[in-house]
Each structure stands twice: as C-alpha cells, then as structure tokens.
Amino acid sequence: MKPALIVHAGAWKIPEATHADHIAGIRAAAEAGWAILASGGSALDAVETAVSIMEDDPTFDAGVGSVLNRVGEIELDAMIMDGSTLQLGAVAAVRGITNPVKLARLIVEDTDHSLLVGDGARRFAELKGMRLCAQAELTVPREVERYRKLQEVPDYRLSDGFTPDTPGPWDTVGAAAMDMHGNLAAATSTGGVHYKLPGRVGDSPLVGSGAYADNQTGAASATGHGESIMRVVLSKTATDAIGHGKSAQAAAEYAVRTMYERVGGYGGIILVDYRGEIAFAFNTPHMAVAWVDVDGQVQAHLKTRQSAP
C-alpha cells in the first residue's frame, strides 16, 4: 500500500512572528517520518520519529520549549499507539526527559502496561537507559518570561476564559501515519497548558482523547484545550466516525464540531484513515499542519480558519 503521513504542531492563534518557525518545524518532522515510511519502515517508527523531532524543536510546547506549571516546573505528557495491535504506551506528568514519546514507545515494547506517570515514568526511563536531563535543558527564555507574567495575575484560571484568542502556546505536537503494510499509528506529545497546577494531565496521554489508532478505522492525533478534548474523547470520536462510514475529512470535521457544540471546546485534529486518506480540521484561528502529497512532496502550512467555529 502507499504510505501516508500527516503531522501537526498546535491549533491556536499562532503569532505571526513564529509562523516561519512553525512551518520549518513541521516540515522537518514530516520529512523525517516520510523517509522512514518510503523506505518500508513502520508507521509506529515514523510517528515516533516525527514527534521526537518536534519535541527537540524549541518552537513547540513539547519536550524542549515546554510551558512551565504553576510552581515553575515542566511536566510532560505523551502517547503512542499501534493500530495493528491496539497496544499503546503513554506517560503523564513526567519530568527531566527530553523525548517523552520515546519513553512512551518503550512502554509499548518493554512492558505489559499502558500508562506510567510522574516519578514512576522517570524511574522507568532511567531503568531503560534513557538520558535524564535537568529542567534547564527543557526551558526556553520565552516560557520563563510567560511564567513570570502569569505570576503577576491574581487567581489565574485558564479554563474560565478559554477562547481561541487565549494567549498560547497551544503547540502540542502529533503525527498519524500508515505504512506500506497498511498498519496505522499515531503519537502526540505536549508540555500541556501554561501555568497548570502541578500534576495536571491533559488529553495527550489519554487513549482516545489525545490520540488513537486502529487499523480498522483510522489513526488520529489531537491538539487544543485538553479539558475539552477529553470530554468528547476527540480522537476516538473521529476514528469511530470513519468506522460508521464517514470519509477522513468528514470525520475530522465532525469530531471538532462535536467538541464545539457539546462543550464549547477549541482545537484541531489530524487523521489518516484505513484507506490511507489524510485529513485535518480545526476551529481555532490557525493550525500548523504538514503532510505528504500524492507526488511524495511534503506540504507544510500554517492554515487559517476560513469560517466561524
């Protein structure tokens, strides 16, 4: 089968000054993932590689460049899922590693568990020989500045006022792919929401919310307001819609519309369906998305919403 790949790096009102960095980052991720698929590699390897490249890119709220929580710490969430087996690995609120998606993959390969959190996840990383890092390695000046400003805001509560104009970043990163064997996979990684309470876990590591993959329907990765995404189990809602006969594009739009209509949520989703069709939908001002077209060329775009949410 012809492989397929789509990646994203967030859906929100992405500042114009960072558009070029976003496009360069998603392009690099899509090219690396595509190189794996084009040479016969697995969808699981492709999404892991694409996401880890975006984790290493300080432009995005994942890995290096992640937001700080309310006590000035970085806690990371990630998930990877294999559509051929429905096995998944996820980590939540883990500190001191640069590539949580790689740790999630090790959970798939080397454990009979699905989700490890906090210190346990970090201890597992150490056990598997992953390099642990100091928080300074993940921290960028942009986020220190944002944190200091938020400290000045009395009783700051993000969820009270979340709109597409809420200052980000909402640069969760993700990828969905199909390989030559028709196997699907999806992965998502994030630093979560800025100024979150310590221990807050978003949608990204929750199966069916931040990502889902099933060879019989599709592979999906979500981005946006985690508390909204998890309430409608956005990725599973989208892949189930494919199972009920919708095209990939119709399923992506249906899932985002459902989130908005049911819980007033904002965000976006990427999809690859079991036929290898790719799609994305979002209801925020922008979404950063890259895919590989029918000629094998990477298309990387900062998309602007065309209609009301």
For binding to ligand GLY (CB under 6 A), which residues are involved?
Answer: 172, 190, 192-193, 202-204, 223-226, 229
Residue 282 bridge partners (DSSP) = 268
Q: Which is nearer to ligand GLY, 85 or 159 (CB)?
A: 159
For residue 123, the 8-state DSSP code is H
**178 vs 6, 249, 283, 301, CA distance in Å?**
9, 16, 25, 21
Q: Which is nearer to ligand GLY, 174 or 276 (CB)?
A: 174
Identify which of 61, 60, 55, 57 has the alpha carbon closest to the alpha carbon of residue 80: 55
Q: Give me the least distance between CB of 2 and ligand GLY, in Å please.
A: 30
172 in active site: yes
- Tokens found for residue 199: 């221990």
Residue 185 bridge partners (DSSP) = 82, 177
Q: List phi, psi (to 5°) of 10.
A: 105, 155
Q: Which is nearer to ligand GLY, 143 or 203 (CB)?
A: 203
Q: Give me the least distance between CB of 224 and ligand GLY, in Å please.
A: 6
Q: Give me the least distance between CB of 216 and ligand GLY, in Å please.
A: 26
Do the beta carbons of residue 268 and residue 6 sit within 8 Å?
no
Q: Which is nearer to ligand GLY, 32 or 234 (CB)?
A: 234
Helix (H) or strand (E) holding 221: strand 218-224
User: One of 98, 172, 239, 284 is an active-site residue; which one?
Assistant: 172
3-state DSSP percent of the chain in helix, strand and coil, to 5: 35, 25, 40
Q: Give me the least distance between CB of 185 and ligand GLY, in Å please.
A: 19
Q: Give me the least distance between CB of 192 and ligand GLY, in Å please.
A: 4
DSSP assignment string, 49-83: HHHHHHHT-TTSSSSTTPPP-TTS---EEEEEEET
Q: Give the β-pairing of 87-94 and 115-117.
A: parallel
Q: Which is nearer to ligand GLY, 83 or 224 (CB)?
A: 224
Residues with catalytic function? 172
